Structure 1
Amino acid sequence: MKDKKRAMGRGLGAILNAESKSLINTAQDAGAEDLVGNIVEVAIEDIYPNANQPRTYFDEKALNELAQSITNLGVIQPITLRKDGEKFEIISGERRYRASKLAGLKSIPAYIRLVNDQELLEMALVENIQRENLDAIEVALTYQRLLEEIGLTQEKLSQRVGKERSTITNAIRLLNLAPDIQNAIRSGQISAGHGRAIISLESEVDRKNLFDKVLAEGLNVRQAEKLATLLKNPEKKEKVEKVVNLPNHIKKAQKTLSDIFETEVEIKSSGNGKKGKIVLDFKNENELEFILSRLKVDEV
């Protein structure tokens, strides 16, 4: 197995020698062009994590699975490091670094960059947004750090991360939610879509009420958005209760029909649930034709 992994590592470059580790620290230093932009093997013991890494939790089971993969196949994707004297700080790839240590590797393939600390932070944050499976709150916190600590404008940030400015604005607004609601998004109890519906309400009381109803009734995002709209109009609050208190079997049927027809479906039921009606929304002729095709009904 060791011979196989060594063969897979050919062409990655030798482990950095003492001269590279001590003398090359900036792009102007002699030999820097041979180091920066190339893949080299760096001793694990010479690498340390980036203190500004946005992700602080690494799933132990997933790390062990990656370590097993690295044991069998080696490190497929090099990590990126910043040279810091004779040591190297991680810009991206901490998960691969941790898994490589678990796998017992003595060195790891890496790209080396010579950057200042501000550039390091910016690269780590931008790379994290683009590559890691962050939850919506972590993404929002990362956007906020790029705006506040790096001093990017929303326009510049939009260009750096390839997202619309409205997407960034909506993400950051989630940080105005109460901590328990933010935690619910982070844990997956509710989605970012639910969070956006909740934050659209100005009253903290209304936000808490909507949050509680989403949890208690298992409302989907469309239902949460509809309730948020109704809560903004006090005269329609009685209608809110009717929507919220649909029996579970009707809510399930409503979701099933919505999935089938790919449109919003509303089931209006009588008090005893023995009769009612189904309303299917369509925005144009094409959507109507699609619904009719699902029903296998000739066009009218």
Structure 2
Amino acid sequence: MDFVKESVALADIRPSGTNPRKNFEGIDELAEAIRATGGEPVNPPVVVRDGNVYRIIDGERRYRALSKMYRGHEAEVMVPVLVACDMDAANEMVAMLATDDKLRLSDEERAAGVQQMLILGVDEQTVSRASRATREQVKVAKKLARRVPEGAQVTLDQMVAAMQFERDEDRDSVLASGNLWYSEVTSIKSRIKREKRMEEVAEYLAGIGVQMVDEAPIGLESGGTLYSWMAPDELRNITEGYGEGCFAVADEDGEVRFYVPEGIKAIKKEELSQEQIDRRRGDSACKDLAGRMVAWAATGDITPCPELDDAALDRRSVPYLPGGEDADFEWILQLGVGIYERVTALLALISKVERGFMGMSWLSPKERAERAREWDDAVNVIVASGFNAPMTEDDEWLKGRCMDVCDAGEK
């Protein structure tokens, strides 16, 4: 592309309205650097003529630094610029993303640039090259570019995650969920899994003549409950002996209650005790919570904190080296903690969360309490590391049960 170097009044230069960059930090430092080189940037801003003004293609940070240096004298100060002879809006956006890489674009800014280029008609190969996005990310962004809510900050990974869902309303929900999109994805997956389970339950009940209704019928007695944490194959045991004249009511959480005419009794196996019911619910809730934690950790949105670094350091050991008994590798233990070690430590803590604290009936109350405290400590470290997904009803129930088990162990 042809450029002509000119000197123009700072007042005649305008930022580009299509620049995806929203973060312009470090302007003071850049202004000091420009002062140190004589008051002009080493690399002049690149502009395109737009009527009587010059629209910035590349170098808005330099322009902002100059404006800060010469505030109040913009009309008098002449600055060197490179004027592009011809550049349409699409190529301008490509230049915005491909150059001026001294301050990296955030994930949200890069995604916004990709969307704008696609809307302007830039071919996918050019978009991928300019934005350093994968072909898959660009294809997904092309499909969803016009569905992103106005003003919403999304990332390319967020768009890829939204695209996995068939329903437009689910995609829109992920795109509108901001930094909590991974929690929204997990929530939608749980809902879809629950809906599929309910379809299987309804199909089975229809096959044996049990009718699904919205409200509990009057005059019938309770015939058992299929809890949301129970495996679907337990449905056969609960409904053994049921048929026409029996009804089922399902709630939003996937719990199904049965109602049968008086005198009809199912041939049942031994009833579960409340302790067994709580234990099964606890195991299911711990697995669900751990699954959401893994989904969050996989995003890499982890906040370093002393508790997590301590957990990482606790896992360190000097490697075993055959024949190297005289070698001193204690210095390894003094190295700083990196992202790999933090993620590894997080996964180890998440495995403790998944294991739970309500099983192993042969443990003493004191041993159960110790296991519950370890579970609670693991949850607290994970939360301190940035896990902030909304608490579910089962999460709250787990916290309460954890406190109960700890209290029982202290008596």
TM tier relative to shorter chain: 0.5 to 0.7
**Partner Cα separation in structure 2 for residue 171 and residue 41 of structure 1:** 39
- Tell me the distance in 2 between the aligned counterparts of 1:45 and 1:171: 37
**Alignment equivalent of 2:89, drawn from 121, 132, 139:** 121
CA 1:253/1:245 → structure 2, altered by over 3 Å: closer, same or farther? farther
How many Å apart are 1:65 and its aligned residue? 3.4
1:245 and 2:289 are equivalent in the alignment? yes
Match of 2:122 in 1: 152
| Deviation per residue, 1:9-45 (Å, 9 max, x gap) | xxxxxxxxxxxxxxxxxx9xxxxxxxx5464443323
- Map 1:1-300; keep pairs closer than 5 Å: 36-37=2-3, 39-50=5-16, 52-55=17-20, 57=22, 59=24, 62-73=26-37, 74=39, 75-84=41-50, 87-104=53-70, 106-115=77-86, 119-131=87-99, 133-149=104-120, 151-158=121-128, 161=131, 163-172=133-142, 175=145, 179=149, 183=152, 185=153, 193=157, 196-203=160-167, 204=169, 215=180, 232-234=192-194, 235=197, 238=229, 241-245=285-289, 256=312, 259-260=340-341, 266-267=350-351, 268-272=354-358, 274=371
- Give the letter aligned to residue 115 of structure 2: Q
Question: Contact (CA 8 Å) 1:194, 1:224: kept in 2 or not?
Answer: no
Contact 1:82 1:120 in 2 (8 A): no
Q: Distance in 1 between matches of 2:176 and 2:84?
A: 45
Paired AA for residue 13 in structure 2:
I
Alignment partners' CA distance in 2, 1:210 and 1:138: 15
Paired with 1:163 and 1:229, the residues of 2 have a C-alpha distance of 26
Q: In terms of Rg, which structure is larger?
A: 2
1:114 shift after superposition: 0.6
1:233 aligned partner, one-letter code = K
SS at the partner of 1:201?
coil
Q: Which amino acid aligns with 1:54?
A: N
Does the aligned pair in 2 maintain the 1:136–1:171 contact within 8 Å? no
Q: Residues 101 and 243 (structure 1 numbering): CA distance in 2 closer, same or farther, change over 3 Å?
A: same
Contact preservation (8 Å) 2:19, 2:93: yes
Paired letter, 1:130: A
Question: Quick one: structure 1 residues 233 and 49, their matched pair in 2 at CA, closer, same or farther if it must change by over 3 Å?
Answer: same
**What is the CA–CA distance in structure 1 between the aligned matches of 2:174 and 2:119, rounded to whole Å?**
32
User: In 2, Cα distance between the equivalents of 1:167 and 1:210?
Assistant: 14
Q: Deviations over 1:106-165 (max 9, x none)?
A: 2323222110xxx3312321122224644444433432332332x333245335555432
Q: CA deviation at 1:81?
A: 1.5
Once the two structures are superposed, what CA deviation does each residue of 1:249-281 show, in whole Å capped at 9, x if it has no partner? 99976995793397665503223571899xxxx
Higher fraction of helix: 1
Structure 1 stretches of 5 or more lacking a match? 1-26, 28-35, 278-300
Kindly indicate whether the alpha-carbon contact (under 8 Å) linking 1:137 and 1:174 is maintained by their aligned counterparts in 2: no
**1:168-187 alpha-carbon deviations (Å, 9 max, x no partner):** 1244566577749x84x55x
Structure 2: gaps of 5 or more residues: 199-227, 230-282, 298-306, 316-338, 359-369, 376-411
State the AA in 1 paired with 2:122: L
SS of structure 2 residue aligned to 1:53: coil
Normalising to structure 1: TM-score of the pair? 0.53
How far off is 1:78 after superposition? 1.6
Distance 1:87 1:211 in 2: 37
Flag the 1:100–1:240 CA change in 2: closer, same or farther, 3 A: farther
How many equivalent residue pairs? 224
Cα distance in 2 for partners of 1:43, 1:259 equals 50
Distance 1:175 1:224, change over 3 A: same
Query: Are 2:115 and 2:145, in contact at CA under 8 Å, matched by a contact in 1?
Result: no
TM-score computed with the length of structure 2 as normaliser: 0.41
Amino acid aligned to 2:113: T
1:224 Cα offset (Å): 8.1
Q: Which SS does the other structure have where 1:139 is aligned?
A: helix
State the distance in 2 between where 1:83 and 1:209 align: 40
How has the CA–CA distance of structure 1 residues 253 and 63 changed in structure 2, closer, same or farther, with 3 Å as cutoff? closer
Partners of 2:106 and 2:144 in 1: CA distance: 12
CA change 1:174–1:260 in 2 (3 A) is: farther
